[in-house]
């Protein structure tokens, strides 16, 4: 059938004047039958329209390519089109294709606990071995959501190299030389073990996608590629994205290009033009590390304090997308943590781990279809029933309290381990809090209006409060006048109150420990429904005079067993909105439920139970005149293009504990 698009004959394309330097191209396709917008009954169609012609590029044109997919996707292909596996295995044996690993499911590594990541990689390699007779040595970081913590799981399961996007890490490291993107580099896991790093460049692969979708002419495309030719040999990834966008449309966006037949043919013709007109050679992605390219082999740290977890493409793609947005990410992530907690106490088999990895898959947390969402909810409930997961305790924080206190201006309370001044006119916000083990001076609390001379920071910066911001509505907080109640036990002193005029019925309690240097804040929400909004808790505000800013740091776990430590030597604002439609730009997975912040002398540890509420962390650190503002914020809900009014009401109760430590109290104080 004739189409509106045709490539110019290769004889009409001016051949690039080649030097001794050689440019090598490589490409791979991401295959995901669990893709959020693909209905289950469309999976065979996707194989026929996308995966089969994809292999034709290698078989018919001799252009080697990588195929990245999860073990689960391979199992689906084996069920629906087993002959595809035979063809793919043959091409691999011929050196025209290779399997690129992913894991058993496509989950977001920096957002799930270390043992889940470990089992996901273990079961993935087992599936590749069973279905293809091989275990891949190169892996794609799922959704390009990278943290240094997850690297150990790739090393432990036999991977020699990973594929990762260049663009966003380079943005966070302006000192990097641009030549680094044309050669493989190295990254280290927390034990210092190396992995080769092979780059993907988002803008480059988007150019090829636009050409195939008839949004770019061949000559213009080749001219774009010529800009990447240099005086020395280079390697560049021409494509490293979804296979399902050619000859098929998931139907997620109104702006998707119309399908015209022959998109895979146009892909092949374009690649042949790169080879024949530009004179570039092709190799498999895993072969890039053997090219002996100049500028290769540098050990790089991709993450930074401003960008602790890196995600592909535009800023709207950040960790919050799978953590606290979607139809009910907070609820389903919390329930996955509860199942994991029960499995750790029991004896799970591989089927249990596969099921949990599937429940944690990224595609259920974005633009999932209604039918698949309903099936997911049923599968989640089945696992909860199997592991006898108990519902959370949502009892009132006020139960069993003593009579209300007379209304004081301040509430001053102390135990042998912690002293606090609370503000009942501001919802029990913490005005000042100190730990005798760290000295008499308060280490966190409220920076009052006027303390900063900078007019941009002429506000009160409280500790312990809640902020809810919905699109088109006024900001709501719990900074209201309350009538507190107090209770005292052998373990703690507690002050609690009902918060008036919040978005929903709300209770709050502040508890000071008598047994150790720590305090906790508990929130209870009486949600009936939840709008598309951002909700942020804690707002732990460090008092500048209590810290040495030159050694200030924070540390947490983002999917690994080791601490990831970040020095606060430059401004950080994870809460900064990307746009009116995307409320924040970065987050910390906090996959152990822990976050540390402090300096070389002392530090605070923020602890939250992810099986109660799977919050994620945010850091703000900004110079203000001669001083600075540093805060720890926990996100309960954010806004992006996936966010919808919750089909599942999120967990009602949140408890956060803050413990104090001096350098002498633990050997790993500085992580």
DSSP result, 562-615: S-EEEE--S-EETT--SBTTB--S--B--TTSEEEEE-SSEEEEEEE-TTT---
- Report residue 93 as tokens: 């044996």
DSSP string computed for 112-159: S-HHHHHHHHHHHHHHHHHHHS---SEEEPGGG-B-GGGHHHHHHTT-
Distance CA 665, CA 671 (A): 13
CA angle 504, 507, 509 (to 5 degrees): 155
Q: What is the pLDDT of residue 136?
A: 98
pLDDT at 255: 46
Token duo for residue 498:
């009902």
How crowded is residue 470: how many other Cβ atoms within 10 Å of its Cβ? 17
Burial class from Cβ neighbours inside 10 Å (0-12, 13-18, 19+) for residue 48 reads: middle
Distance of CA 565 to the CA centre of its chain: 17
pLDDT, position 399: 60
Cα separation, 438 vs 553, in Å, equals 17
Q: Which residue has the tokens 């924080």?
A: 397
Enumerate residue ranges in the chain where pLDDT < 50.
1-19, 252-256, 665-671
8 A C-beta contact, residue 568 and residue 552? yes
| Separation CA 24–CA 14 (nearest Å) | 19
Residue 319: both structure tokens together: 């960790």
Q: Which of 272, 283, 281, 282 is nearest to 13 (CA)?
A: 272
Exposure b/e, 147-182, CB count within 10 A at least 16 = b: bbbbbbbbbebebebbbbbbbbbbebeeebeeebbb
> Quick one: the chain helix, strand, coil %, rounded to 5?
30, 25, 45
The whole-number pLDDT of residue 45 equals 95
604 within 8 A of 598, measured Cβ to Cβ = yes
Specify the pairing of strand 97-100 against strand 65-69: parallel
Tokens 């599942």 appear where? 648
Q: Show Cβ contacts of residue 12 under 8 Å, excluding neighbours closer than 6 positions.
A: none
Burial 227-263 (b: 16+ CB within 10 A, else e): ebbeeebbbbbbbbbbbbbbbbebeeeeeeeeeeebb
Write down how long the chain is.
Answer: 671
Phi, psi dihedrals of residue 41, rounded to the nearest 5°: -75, -5
Tokens 């943005």 locate to 171
Rounded Cα–Cα distance for residues 274 and 292 (Å): 22
Q: Parallel, antiparallel, or unpaired: how do β-strands 161-165 and 492-499 relate? A: unpaired
Among all chains, which residue has been given the structure tokens 């939250």? 608
Integer angstrom CA distances of residue 513 from 213, 261, 416: 62, 68, 9
Strands (E), 373-462: 411-414, 419-423, 429-434, 444-445
Instruction: Tell me the HSE value of 343 on the side-chain side, using a 13 A CA sphere.
Output: 24
| Euclidean distance between CA atoms 158 and 161, whole angstroms | 9
Percentage of residues of the chain with pLDDT beyond 90 = 83
Q: Is 22 buried (19+), middle (13-18) or exposed (0-12) by CB count in 10 A? A: middle
């Amino acid at each position: 059938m004739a189409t509106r698009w045709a490539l110019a004959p290769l004889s009409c394309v001016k051949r690039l004047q080649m030097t001794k330097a050689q440019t090598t191209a490589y490409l791979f396709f991401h295959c995901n039958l669990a893709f959020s917008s693909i209905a289950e009954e469309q999976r065979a169609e996707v194989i026929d329209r996308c995966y089969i012609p994809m292999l034709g590029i290698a078989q018919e044109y001799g252009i080697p390519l990588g195929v990245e997919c999860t073990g689960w996707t391979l199992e689906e292909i084996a069920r629906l089109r087993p002959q595809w596996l035979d063809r793919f295995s043959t091409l691999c044996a011929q050196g025209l294709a290779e399997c690129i690993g992913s894991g058993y499911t496509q989950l977001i590594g920096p957002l799930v606990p270390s043992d889940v990541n470990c089992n996901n990689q273990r079961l993935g390699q087992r599936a590749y071995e069973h279905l293809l007779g091989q275990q891949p040595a190169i892996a794609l970081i799922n959704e390009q959501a990278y943290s240094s913590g997850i690297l150990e799981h790739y090393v432990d399961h036999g991977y020699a190299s990973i594929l990762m996007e260049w663009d966003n890490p380079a943005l966070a490291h302006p000192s990097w030389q641009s030549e680094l993107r044309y050669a493989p580099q190295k990254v280290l896991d927390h034990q210092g073990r190396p992995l080769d790093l092979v780059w993907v460049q988002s803008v480059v692969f988007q150019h090829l996608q636009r050409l195939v979708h008839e949004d770019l002419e061949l000559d213009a495309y080749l001219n774009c590629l010529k800009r990447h030719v240099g005086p020395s040999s280079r390697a560049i990834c021409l494509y490293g994205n979804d296979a399902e966008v050619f000859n098929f449309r998931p139907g997620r966006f109104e702006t998707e290009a119309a399908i015209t037949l022959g998109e895979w043919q146009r892909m092949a013709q374009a690649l042949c033009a790169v080879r024949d007109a530009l004179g570039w050679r092709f190799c498999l992605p895993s072969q890039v590390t053997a090219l002996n390219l100049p500028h290769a082999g540098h050990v790089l740290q991709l993450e930074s304090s401003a960008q602790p977890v890196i995600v592909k493409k535009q800023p709207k793609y950040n960790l919050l997308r799978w953590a606290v947005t979607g139809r009910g990410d907070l609820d389903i992530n919390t329930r996955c943590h509860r199942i994991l907690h029960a499995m750790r106490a029991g004896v799970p088999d591989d089927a249990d781990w596969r099921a949990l990895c599937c429940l944690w898959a990224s595609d259920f947390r974005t633009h999932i279809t209604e039918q698949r969402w309903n099936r997911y909810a049923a599968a989640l409930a089945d696992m909860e029933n199997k592991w006898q997961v108990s519902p959370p305790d949502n009892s009132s924080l006020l139960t069993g309290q003593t009579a209300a206190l007379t209304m004081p201006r301040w509430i001053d309370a102390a135990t042998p381990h912690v002293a606090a001044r609370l503000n009942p006119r501001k919802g029990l916000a913490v005005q000042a809090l100190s730990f005798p083990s760290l000295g008499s001076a308060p280490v966190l609390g409220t920076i009052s209006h006027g303390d900063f001379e900078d007019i941009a920071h002429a506000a009160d910066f409280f500790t312990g409060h809640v902020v809810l911001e919905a699109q088109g509505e006024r900001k709501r907080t719990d900074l209201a006048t309350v009538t507190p109640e107090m209770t005292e036990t052998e373990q703690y002193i507690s002050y609690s109150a009902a918060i008036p005029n919040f978005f929903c019925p709300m209770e709050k309690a502040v508890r000071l420990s008598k047994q150790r240097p720590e305090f906790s804040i508990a929130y209870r929400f009486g949600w009936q429904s939840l709008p598309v909004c951002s909700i942020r808790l804690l707002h732990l505000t460090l008092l500048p005079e209590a810290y040495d800013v030159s050694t200030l740091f924070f540390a947490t776990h983002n999917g690994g067993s080791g601490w990831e430590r970040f020095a606060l030597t430059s401004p950080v604002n994870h809460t900064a909105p990307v746009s009116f439609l995307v409320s924040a730009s970065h987050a910390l997975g906090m996959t152990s439920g822990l976050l540390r912040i402090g300096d070389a002398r002392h530090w605070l540890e923020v602890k939250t139970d992810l099986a109660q509420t799977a919050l994620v962390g945010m850091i703000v650190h900004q110079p203000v005149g001669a001083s600075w503002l540093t805060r720890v914020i926990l996100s309960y809900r954010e806004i992006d293009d996936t966010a919808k009014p919750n089909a599942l009401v999120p967990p009602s109760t949140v408890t956060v504990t803050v413990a104090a430590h001096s350098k002498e109290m633990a050997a790993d104080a500085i992580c």
